[in-house]
Amino acid sequence: MDATVLLAAATDFTGKFGSPDQGDLVWARETQAMSFIFHIPLVCFGIAFPATVLFMEGLWLRTGDPVYKALAKRWSKVMLILFAVGVVTGTILSFELGLLWPNFMATFGDVFGLAFGLEGFSFFIEAIFIAIYVYGWDRLPAKTHLLVGLPIVITGITGSLTVIAVNGWMNNPVGFDVVNGAVTNVHPWSALFNDYFAHELAHMYMAGYMVVGFTVAGVYAVQWLKGNRSKYVRAGMIVPLTIACLASPVQVILGDWAGRTVADKQPVKLATFEGLAQTTKGAPFHFLGWYDKSDQEVNGAIEIPYLLSILAYHNPDATVQGLDSVPPDDRPGPVNIVRFAFQGMISIGTLLALAGVFYALVWVRKRRLPRTKWFYRLVVVAGPLAIVALICGWVTTEVGRQPWIAYGLMRVEDAVTGAEGLPAVFAVVAAVYLTLAGTVFWLLRRLARRPPDVEVGTPVGAD
């Protein structure tokens, strides 16, 4: 049996419920995508914010300066609000897995479900200790209070770890066999630790620290630019900014690792990043421009010779597999969405990495903060930019995974529900998320406007 026959055999796989009759697949996908886009920035705060808050509280315990306590306490309230919104949006996601993709869950729930079980426990313990931490200010002894923060840091990591493992599995479905169209011989632990697990995890973690660091620092950078040089603003900006500036150059290295794994395991996805129609030796990279499906080439782009081969294999002469290596039905449809998402991610990532290097250089050489206002203007927009890069990254990998829900095995169109009314579901969910986003933004602004003195009961000199 040659490779094409094998692939054809695999594409006949339609899971336990068979192929559904669903004309509105695109709305199921858009609903799911929208829900993730809303939830993922909150995940970043789950990953990276607790450690940042605890660091600030640790500074307070070491120095006794109420400024640090006011910041830590204020941030812990933000953490609780974002966690509450993360709880409800995360619940919606678990519902959507079943409501939108019942055949996927019925067929593979027993393969990757375990990861969500571990996530459930992490989430549970996180909810418990976040409540104790936030409501325990001034009521628990100071050191106990710091200690009850530690489980939040750990579970923030383990919780997202397991969900990322499932996404890794969708891209690299392992830990089972398909015999006569049925999933058998399930090894849930091998499914959990698939080949995509490690790099997706590392890449997402660093993204979490970048998003949180730049977003929080940006809030105080606004004050800084207005001329407020109080210790409160200074500490509120420097701590998260330093974290983000250390993370962003590291992210470039991790991104390179992720890219090379994709080149190795999902060459068609990599070809989509570039819009590479034919398998090419020494492949170039096209910045901007538009991939034309009928011409099968990228028009109006800035061509950088050999760059794709270098990015994918660290070798300018390497051969990069093109979209033509698989039948048209097995290629991702929206090539340009993936291209722009990929280019958006790496452009923003590079910019933020340069900002991080600049900040570190100024610090190492002059032992002071950068003086140019442009740096702080960049910090103000860096948070939103980092969130855009984060979403671009997920669009790159998830739209690049199409048309598969379990890569190379089960198609998204076979996984979807047979139920009606998906456009209406999309409209309702969109309205809900818009309301939710508006409410959260309004609430956080409200919190930020309160003078920090209320957190500690003594003036901390914010102005």
CB of 420 to other proteins, least distance (A): 7
- Bridge partners, 178 (sequence order): 183
**What does the alpha-carbon distance between residue 46 and residue 49 come to, in Å, rounded to a whole number?**
6
CB of 139 to other proteins, least distance (A): 5
**What does the alpha-carbon distance between residue 315 and residue 308 come to, in Å, rounded to a whole number?**
9
CB of 211 to other proteins, least distance (A): 21
| Closer to other proteins by Cβ: residue 257 or 441 | 441
**What does the alpha-carbon distance between residue 66 and residue 57 come to, in Å, rounded to a whole number?**
10
Retrieve residue 79's tokens: 């953490």
CB of 104 to other proteins, least distance (A): 8
Retrieve residue 416's tokens: 């979807």
Contact 336, 275 (CB under 8 A): yes
Phi, psi (degrees; rounded to nearest 5) at 292: -105, 120
Other CB atoms within 10 A of residue 264 CB: 12
Question: Measured at the alpha carbon of residue 428, what is the angle toward residues 426 and 433, in degrees to the nearest 5?
Answer: 90
CB of 116 to other proteins, least distance (A): 5
| Closer to other proteins by Cβ: residue 117 or 461 | 117
| Closer to other proteins by Cβ: residue 124 or 257 | 124
Secondary structure letter of residue 333 according to DSSP:
S
| Closer to other proteins by Cβ: residue 168 or 289 | 168
| Closer to other proteins by Cβ: residue 186 or 250 | 186
| Closer to other proteins by Cβ: residue 159 or 259 | 159
Question: Measured at the alpha carbon of residue 199, what is the angle toward residues 312 and 11, in degrees to the nearest 5?
Answer: 75
CB of 166 to other proteins, least distance (A): 11
CB of 352 to other proteins, least distance (A): 31
**What does the alpha-carbon distance between residue 297 and residue 303 come to, in Å, rounded to a whole number?**
12
CB of 392 to other proteins, least distance (A): 26
| Closer to other proteins by Cβ: residue 154 or 310 | 154
| Closer to other proteins by Cβ: residue 337 or 430 | 430
Q: What's the Cα-to-Cα distance from 17 to each of 8, 114, 421, rounded to whole Å?
A: 20, 21, 20
CB of 178 to other proteins, least distance (A): 14
CB of 419 to other proteins, least distance (A): 4
| Closer to other proteins by Cβ: residue 148 or 392 | 148
CB of 250 to other proteins, least distance (A): 30
| Closer to other proteins by Cβ: residue 327 or 421 | 421
CA 276 to chain centre: 26
CB of 164 to other proteins, least distance (A): 16
| Closer to other proteins by Cβ: residue 109 or 334 | 109
Pair type for strands 285-287 and 177-179: unpaired
| Closer to other proteins by Cβ: residue 83 or 291 | 83
